[in-house]
Structure 1
Amino acid sequence: MALSDADVQKQIKHMMAFIDQEANEKAEEIDAKAEEEFNIEKGRLVQQQRVKIMEYYEKKEKNLELQKKIQNSNLLNQARLRVLKAREDHVESLLEEARMRLGTVTKDTIKYSKLLEGLITQGLFQLLESVVVIQTRRQDTALVESVLPQCIEAYKKETKKSVDVSVDKENFWTIMSDISGGVVLLAQRGKIRVENTLESRLELISKQMLPEIREALFGINPNRKFSD
């Protein structure tokens, strides 16, 4: 039975409506899936950026903490250096005061003559030479000559050797105003020299006793492993 034009048009419309409905449903399905994928990707990007931001500020916080530690360490070192400098300045001022007081040693003739005797005798033992020349201050010449016999006798007694000792009366320390007293012993025409001035003895003693001086002034250093 042949279909009329009206039936054909009706079937065509029915098919078109079916196709249109399927297309709409497919479009809605694609949109839903696209929306889901979009939300997933957006969440992933947001989380990724959040992690990056957290890592950035965590790194920045660590850098700030490191800079703070470095700054504190530098400040602590500077403070320690200032303390050490102040202590060394104090020790040096005490030694300078001791140097200034050396001149008072020579005022007591009896004590100074005993000191000269010891300095000369020690110098003779250091040199162990047969001919020795002594230089001293002009005002100490007579005092040095007065103790020479005892010095020579002590040297001969211990070494069983003779020694010719003379005082240089041409080269006095007139231009050496910083010398407070003591003697310089020369041998081998000045090639060998032993300085036993008051200043040199103070310098030697201060170096040897520097740890004890520091300990007496500032107490025992808990960080120091050795005493020198």
Structure 2
Amino acid sequence: MALSDADVQKQIKHMIAFIDQEANEKAEEIDAKAEEEFEIEKGRLVQMHRVKIMEQYERRQKQIELQRKIQISNLSNAARLKILKAREDHLRKVTEGTRQMLVKLTQDPSRYKILMEGLLTQCLFKLLEAEVVVRCKKQDAHIIEELIPKCVDYYMKSTGKKVKVTADKEQYLPSDSTGGVEALSGNLKIKVENTLDSRLQSISHTIAPELREILFGKNPNRKFRD
């Protein structure tokens, strides 16, 4: 039995509706899958950038912390240097104050003469030479001339050795020297410095650690006391 045109049109419409519905369902499926893939990719990209941002943040934090430590270290070193300089300046003032006291001592004839006698005698015992040349400040020449016989006599009685001591009348200690004596062997090859400046310098160097402790207290970082 042949289908009428109406039946054919009805079946065509039914097929078209079925195809259209299937197409819509397929489109919705594709959209859903695309949306899912989009969300997954978006999450991946967001996570990737989050990781990069966190890495950059951590690197920046480390740089800032390193710069902070460097700055603190530089400031600490600068402060330490200032403290050390202030201490050394103070020690120099103490040494200079001591030097000024020695200058005053040289202005006391009786005390200075006793001191010069001890310095000259010490030179003779250090040199142990048969001939000795003694130098002093020009204004102290008369003191040395007076002391030579006494010091020679004491030296000879103590050692049993003879010594000829001559005051150098051509070369004297510098005028800005604090005082004291300088003794040389007869051939001028051996010299003993016993000036007040050299003694002060030697003593200052020797007692510097103890002096620093007296002035500034014990150093907690110092392990040895010898």
Matches within 5 A, 1:79-98: 79-98=79-98
Runs of at least 5 residues in structure 2 that lack an aligned partner in the other structure = none
Give 1:6 deviation, angstroms: 4.3
Q: Structure 2 matches for 1:33-182, cutoff 5 A? A: 33-173=33-173, 176-182=174-180
- Code of the aligned partner of 2:74: N
Pairwise CA distance, 1:4: 4.3
TM-score by length of 2: 0.88
Distance 1:121 1:193, change over 3 A: same
* Aligned partner of residue 178 in structure 2, secondary structure: coil
Aligned length: 226
| Residue deviations 1:158-199 (CA, integer Å, cap 9, x gap) | 4432211111123234xx221122111111432221111111
Q: Which amino acid in 2 is paired with 1:225?
A: K
1:209 aligned residue: 207
Q: Distance between the aligned counterparts of 1:142 and 1:182, measured in 2?
A: 13
Greater mean alpha carbon deviation, residues 96-105 or residues 29-38: 96-105
Q: Which moved more, 1:93-102 or 1:9-18?
A: 9-18
- d(CA) in 2 for partners of 1:159, 1:87: 45
Once structures 1 and 2 are overlaid, which stretch shifts more, 105-114 or 33-42? 105-114
Q: Which structure 1 segments of 5+ residues have no match?
A: none
Sequence identity of aligned pairs in percent? 62
Correspondence 1:29 to 2:6: no
- Partner in structure 2 of residue 222 of structure 1: 220
d(CA) in 1 for partners of 2:224, 2:88: 18
Give the drift of 1:139: 2.7
The runs of at least 4 aligned residues of structure 1 exceeding 6 Å deviation read: none
What amino acid is aligned across from residue 122 of structure 1 in structure 2? Q
Q: For residues 177 and 158 of structure 2, what CA distance do their matches in structure 1 show? A: 31
Letter of the 1:45 counterpart: L
Which deviations, in whole Å up to 9, do the C-alpha atoms of 1:47-75 show, x marking residues without a partner? 22223223323332332232222212211
Supply the AA of the counterpart residue of 2:215. L
Q: 1:45 deviation in Å?
A: 1.5
Per-residue deviation, 1:5 = 4.5
Displacement after TM superposition at 1:227 (Å): 4.2
User: Which of the numbers 171, 195, 198 marks the counterpart of 1:197?
Assistant: 195
Cα RMSD for the two superposed structures: 2.1
Residue 88 of structure 1 and its aligned partner are, at CA, apart by: 0.7
Q: What is the alpha-carbon distance in structure 1 between the residues aligned to residue 111 and residue 182 of structure 2?
A: 19
AA aligned opposite 1:151:
C
Shift of 1:92: 0.4
Report how far residue 101 of structure 1 moved: 2.7
SS at match of 1:209: helix
CA contact (8 A) 2:178 2:197 kept: yes
C-alpha distance in structure 1 between counterparts of 2:128 and 2:57, whole Å:
78
Match of 1:185, SS?
Answer: strand
Please, which moves more after superposition, 137-146 or 198-207? 137-146
